[in-house]
Every structure is written in structure tokens, then in C-alpha cells.
Amino acid sequence: MTKEANYDVYREDVAGRANVEDTPELVAYYKALERFDAGALWTVANKIEPWEPKSVSVPMIWRYRDLREHVLQSVALVTPEKAGRRVIYLNNPGRQDVSAAVGWLYSGLQVMHPGECASTHRHSASALRFIMEGSGAYTIVDGHKMSLGANDFVLTPNGTWHEHGVDESGSPCIWQDGLDIPFVNALEANFYEVHPDLHQQVAYPVDDATQTWGGTALLPHGQSWSKSYSPLFKYEWAPTYESLKRLAKVSKGSEFDGVLMHYINPVTGGSVMPTIGASMQLLRAGEHTNAHRHTGSYLYQVAKGEGYSVINGKRFDWRERDIFCVPSWAWHEHANTQASEDACLFCFSDLPVMKALGLYREEGLGSNSGHQTIESN
């Protein structure tokens, strides 16, 4: 016997909220509406407008030591020409329907061997790369070629022709990809194109973008830039880490994030791309931050050191190259367990979207001295 549908499962006995109990007459009315692909708002209002964000993403950690050999194994199984992009993607159990690592953000680990080069393509989604290991990697974006090293952060903005490869003289390289594919797909606005020649020509001196736009607090005379993304396609690790250490000497930093610095568009001072922001934070030796939560989805990679993060009461131990996610409105705090070395966390997020739409909200944990109670396993 088929069970009768319940339409009042989301009702709440709170003033101002939908609180309509099913009756035979109402159920018949709802079924009549369904025949016209319509429904009564009050049956779902409390579901679609929760009191606070309820992410379907779950806190996750992808440990590099678990994935690395599988990533390398893909080299023997499929070529870049066949795969398009040889990537092992990170699949959050709560977001498998959209192939997201967290929220509306996609991420994966791409591997390339010396002499390999993926074909040039472009898409509506914005993308980034964070280099994990190897030597000789490069990216070409709209004719600008950039040489890449470990912990370098690279942009391939939406609509730009781009390709990635490894020089013949290099070594096997692995990097993290980050894109807003799920977000752009949700907007039903994604396009993808392959370059008609399969590869683009290098049109500028190698690393010209860094040499032109990478001066600290300096803008080059006679240069103009009006696009929505940063002209500084590559953000190198060495000056980033040095800037963090300098700031740490004169600033206590954030109680929630330690010494935190955001990658920016040097022309506008805004985010590197309209839909994806990125940052690097330094946790001093032994530092344990206070817990907070905010709207927006965040993906972290451990660039240096080891420690742990507590996300919604669950502890995740991490070390270099591990990747973990913080879903929207999830309590989180970070700890560097090293006694004499700092730790650094790279992060990319949808923070620019949250702020542009007026949806960003943040709050600190006011109880238990600012720390979560860790759940027992």
C-alpha cells in the first residue's frame, strides 16, 4: 500500500513561520496543484528559508599521502590528449551531484610528466592552480607564459585561453586545480571551447606579468588594465611567505586566522577574480586560533608545517599538501602543533561572491574561551 504523502513535515510552531497542518481537503488541493507543476509555498517555506545556513557539504580532509600514488598512477592509464585534463577530483559526499569539493567550488589534483602539455582551452568558469610538487611546470594564459614552482599560485581567469605543461627538462609535477564550475553551472552560464590550433603561441617574454605587475605597492607607468581579474597571473611563494613573516613581526594578527594576507588584484586592490578569492595565512609556532564561522565555502591546502583544524566539533589533523574544506557557516579553528616552526595555509573561497551579493556574515564563538568541544570518535 502506497504511503500517503505528508505536506506538513516542515511546519514550525513559531509565530511568523509556516505552520499549516495537513487535512484531507488540503492534501487534495496540493495534489491538484501538482498536476500543473505548482505547489503551495507554505508547505516548503521553512525548508527553503532556514533560520540559518545549512550546508549539505560535510567537513572533509583529503590527505596527500593517500592520494598521491593514485594521482601518479593515472599517468600510465590515460594521456592528457585523451583526458583533456588528467585530474583526480575531490568529491565531497554531500555535493557529489555537482562534483564539488565544498559548496559550489570544484577542486582536483592534476599531474603532468616532462614533455607533456594539455591542449589550449577556455571556459566560463574561473580557475586557479596551486603548485604542489615537481619542477619545470608552466602555464600559458592568453599568450603570457609563466614558469611555476612549489607553492606558487596561478590564475586562469574565465574566458582566457590557457594551457599547462612541463618542460622536457623538468620532473613530474602535481598541482591543485580550483574552479567555480558548480557555481557557473548552477547559473546555467558555462561554455567550453578548445583552441582551433590546439595550442596557443607565446606572445610575450616569459614571466612578463610578474615582472610588470609584481612590484610591491607599485603600479607600472604607461600600463593599463580594465579587465575584471588580476593582471598578475602568478603569485610566487617566496615573496608571499616573506610578507607574512614581516607582518608577523609587527602585528598580532587575527584571533581567528593568525597572520592572514589576501591575494589581490594590484590595480584595484580587490579580489584576484570576481568569483574566487584566495589567501595565505601563517600560524605561529604553537598557535591555536579561536573558533568562528562565516558564510561562504573555503578550501585549504597546507603549504607548510603541520597541525590540526576543528570543524563543527570534529578534529582533522593535517600536514603539508593535505587539503581540507570548511563548509559555509561551519565553526572552525586552527592549531599549529609545531613547537618551533610556523605553519602556512593556502585557501581559496567564494568570498567575493558572498560580499558582492551582500550575503557575507561572520561571528566568533563566545563560549568555552572561544574553542569548540571536540567530539570523541
pLDDT in tens, 10-28: 999 999 999 999 999 999 9
Judge whether residue 2 has pLDDT over 60: no
**Are 176 and 295 part of one and the same domain?**
yes
Residues facing residue 81 across a β-bridge: none
Contact of 309 with 332, CB cutoff 8 Å: yes
Judge whether residue 136 has pLDDT over 70: yes
List the domain range (segments joined by +) for residue 25. 1-48
State which amino acid sits at residue 352: P
Judge whether residue 377 has pLDDT over 90: no
**Are 42 and 106 part of one and the same domain?**
no
**Are 270 and 340 part of one and the same domain?**
yes
Contact of 280 with 348, CB cutoff 8 Å: no
**Are 8 and 65 part of one and the same domain?**
no
Judge whether residue 198 has pLDDT over 90: yes
Q: How confident is the model at residue 286 (pLDDT cuts 50, 70, 90)?
A: very high
265 part of a folded domain: yes
The per-residue pLDDT for 218 is: 86
C-beta neighbour count of 216 within 10 angstroms: 7
303 part of a folded domain: yes
**Are 21 and 151 part of one and the same domain?**
no
For the stretch 217-270, pLDDT in tens is 888 999 989 999 999 999 999 999 999 999 999 999 999 999 999 999 999 999
221 part of a folded domain: no
Is the whole model's pTM more than 0.75, yes or no?
Answer: yes
The per-residue pLDDT for 1 is: 42
**Are 188 and 92 part of one and the same domain?**
yes
Q: Percentage of residues in the chain with pLDDT exceeding 70?
A: 99
The per-residue pLDDT for 254 is: 98
Cα–Cα dist 118/198, whole Å: 9
The per-residue pLDDT for 3 is: 56
Residues facing residue 235 across a β-bridge: 153
**Are 71 and 133 part of one and the same domain?**
yes
For the stretch 288-330, pLDDT in tens is 999 999 999 999 999 999 999 999 999 999 999 999 999 999 9
Judge whether residue 139 has pLDDT over 50: yes
- Chain centroid to Cα 134, Å, comes to 22
Report the number of distinct structural domains present in the chain: 2
Judge whether residue 201 has pLDDT over 70: yes
**Are 37 and 70 part of one and the same domain?**
no
Length of the chain: 377
Q: How confident is the model at residue 80 (pLDDT cuts 50, 70, 90)?
A: confident
Q: Percentage of residues in the chain with pLDDT exceeding 90?
A: 94
54 part of a folded domain: no
**Are 179 and 294 part of one and the same domain?**
yes
222 part of a folded domain: no
Place of cell 591543485: 176
Mean pLDDT of the chain, nearest integer? 96
Cα–Cα dist 304/361, whole Å: 29
The per-residue pLDDT for 85 is: 87
